[in-house]
Structure 1
Amino acid sequence: MKFKLLLVLFTITTLFANAAQVDTVMVVSSSMNKIIPTVVITPDNYSAENKNYPVVYVLHGAGGTYANWITRVPELKTYADTYNMIIVCPDGGLTSWYFDSPVDDSMKYETYISKELVHVIDSKYKTIVDKSGRAITGLSMGGHGAFYLAFKHQDIWGAAGSMSGGLDLRPFPNNWDLNKRLGDYADHKENWEENSVINMVYKLKKDSLKLIFDCGISDFFYDANKRLHEKLLERNIPHDYIERPGNHNWEYWSNSIKYQLLFFNEYFRSVATP
């Protein structure tokens, strides 16, 4: 009986010893003068291996927090192990939309994510300090944010994804505090036009970013995703686009993230130094 108990304890210890590490890192944002929490998942062999790792930044949606992804999709730990990558889940505020607001100086999440957070992650962890070792994706508001940040900062991210992304903000002038971030549509139309991802395709060079995005056909953002797909086709911008049955919910996103991380892993492998 004693031997069996020791065996069970050894098995449990082994499982934990070979599991991804989940940390909460407090990051100082000078641009917003506050401290922002971030979940960082490192693979199981992170401490043992003398190497640098690719990083995938995964953004939450409106009304969410940095803890959403690891709480709702704990399989992220397994994916970090499987693909030998670091996964970073930042906090983007309840309704920041991940840009620097043109009407509210206290909301500078573009600066925070693309400059301050990336610098901290690269300083604190063993990362590949180059766009070839960075990807970014997210759901809903975070899907918009991932494409927005990657389209504007193609020197920082080499690949980007979006899941059920709000890729055209203009049809929603009274939703998710968008009028607080951009001003009323009637008075600040240019803000809405300039900060909608669907209007930022002109920023893309043919091979500057590896792109993947998907949306459920029952999702209220489906139309915008399909229109972005068509726009990318018109401009001959390579991308992976997937539409499938699904709604705007965690059942959809927990399935979607599996395919996106596989896509990013293939990207990292394709650009890795032999």
Structure 2
Amino acid sequence: MLDRARFVRVLGVLVLTFATAGLGGGAVSAATSATSAFRSRALNSRLHFLIELPNGYDTSGVRYPVIYFLHGLPAGPTSYQTLAWVEGTLEATGHEAILVIPQAASSGSSDPEYHDWGPGKNWETALAAELPKYIDAHYRTIANRNGRAIIGLSAGGYGATILGVHHPNEYAVIESWSGYFRPTDETGEKTLDVGSKADNDNASVHALLAQLKTQFRRYPTFFGFYVGKSDPTFVADNARLDRELTAARVSHLFELYAGGHTTALWQAHATAWLTLALDHLHAPATS
């Protein structure tokens, strides 16, 4: 596992930053945020997303790392907008990055589990292939894996992990906040059958363990997953993955926190978790 002393140091720096920030100084200028969309061939519809651009983006000439942040399921077509609070948290890290929060459900598909189900319902392809391609083409990004993190909470934590594992050439950072590691039904308690045995294995992070050591060696990846000790559903799955990765000697960071499956938990630790992610991406650089 990763050195937890480093994790503690990050938390200490954040505490000091917030303490000194309140002692004086001018106000921090707000970043620019907007809702946008593009036509997705994988979904045969428009895919909407929130995007936050760093302060000074229009005139800086700088290319920025990108955080893709996935929401929980089941959900509606506008549920991604409930994560707008992540924008302020990103600013609090002191890092400059582009934040993209995409739609991951529709009125006809409330719990697609970040999976490719067939024509017009291929959510993995839309989010892990089409979306980064669109963002790189329309914004000044660091357009390679060293400039991309994929993060999610609850079902979005599963989505971030499975998409990150399936697309190692796309993301250098994977984080799961109170997520799980195999597709589930809407209760989160039963494993979802997505088709054949091969399909089910490919949708389970547990079943992909054998490839991760080699994959993470070829594509160095920061993989962090965090869960509340009182989470009513996902503690066991997180602890299981920690044991499996430790036994396989696959680098990762696993942390348990006081709290349940709540926004309060995520907001309390989001700045530290985002800082860890951004510390493992390339810093903004001039074009």
TM-score when normalising by structure 2: 0.79
State the structure with bigger RCO (CA 8 A, min sep 6), 1 or 2.
2
Q: Which amino acid aligns with 1:192?
A: N
CA distance in 1, matches of 2:164, 2:90: 24
Q: Report Cα offsets for 1:178-200 as digits up to 9, x if no partner.
A: 888725xxxx5554333122222
Following superposition, the deviation at residue 135 of structure 1 comes to 0.5
- Retained in 2: the 8 A contact 1:96–1:181? no
Following superposition, the deviation at residue 107 of structure 1 comes to 2.0
Q: Give the counterpart of 1:227 among 240, 249, 258.
A: 240
Q: Report Cα offsets for 1:79-103 as digits up to 9, x if no partner.
A: 47x21000110111031211212xx
- Retained in 2: the 8 A contact 1:142–1:165? yes
Q: 1:203 to 1:120 in 2, by over 3 A?
A: same
1:37 corresponds to 2:51: no
- Retained in 2: the 8 A contact 1:41–1:77? no
Q: Please name the residue that 1:246 is paired with.
A: 259
Give the length in aligned residue pairs.
249
Q: Please name the residue that 1:257 is paired with.
A: 270
Q: Which amino acid aligns with 2:260?
A: N
**1:83 partner SS:** coil
Following superposition, the deviation at residue 217 of structure 1 comes to 1.1
Q: Please name the residue that 1:95 is paired with.
A: 111
Following superposition, the deviation at residue 112 of structure 1 comes to 0.4
Q: 1:200 to 1:256 in 2, by over 3 A?
A: farther
CA distance in 2, matches of 1:198, 1:56: 25
Following superposition, the deviation at residue 69 of structure 1 comes to 0.9
Give 5+ residue unaligned stretches, structure 1: 1-13
Q: Please name the residue that 2:38 is paired with.
A: 27
**1:242 partner SS:** strand
1:1-274 alignment, distance < 5 Å:
18-64=29-75, 65-70=79-84, 72-73=85-86, 75-76=88-89, 78-79=91-92, 82-93=94-105, 94-101=110-117, 104-169=118-183, 172=184, 175=187, 182=194, 188=196, 190-204=198-212, 205-207=215-217, 208=219, 209-219=221-231, 220-269=233-282
**1:238 partner SS:** coil
Q: 1:218 to 1:46 in 2, by over 3 A?
A: same
Task: State the percentage of identical aligned residues.
Answer: 27
Q: 1:88 to 1:181 in 2, by over 3 A?
A: farther
**2:129 partner SS:** helix
Q: Report Cα offsets for 1:38-66 as digits up to 9, x if no partner.
A: 00011112112111000010000013422
CA distance in 2, matches of 1:139, 1:74: 15
Following superposition, the deviation at residue 126 of structure 1 comes to 0.3
- Retained in 1: the 8 A contact 2:62–2:285? no
CA distance in 1, matches of 2:191, 2:226: 26
Bigger Rg over Cα: 1
**2:73 partner SS:** coil
Q: Report Cα offsets for 1:194-235 as digits up to 9, x if no partner.
A: 312222222322432111110011111010001111111111
TM-score when normalising by structure 1: 0.82
Q: Report Cα offsets for 1:26-48 as digits up to 9, x if no partner.
A: 12111111001100011112112
Q: 1:265 to 1:141 in 2, by over 3 A?
A: same
Q: Which amino acid aligns with 2:258?
A: P
- Retained in 2: the 8 A contact 1:22–1:41? yes
Between 257-266 and 19-28, the greater mean CA deviation after superposition:
257-266
Task: State the superposition RMSD in angstroms.
Answer: 2.7
Give 5+ residue unaligned stretches, structure 2: 1-25
**2:271 partner SS:** helix
Q: Which amino acid aligns with 1:198?
A: H
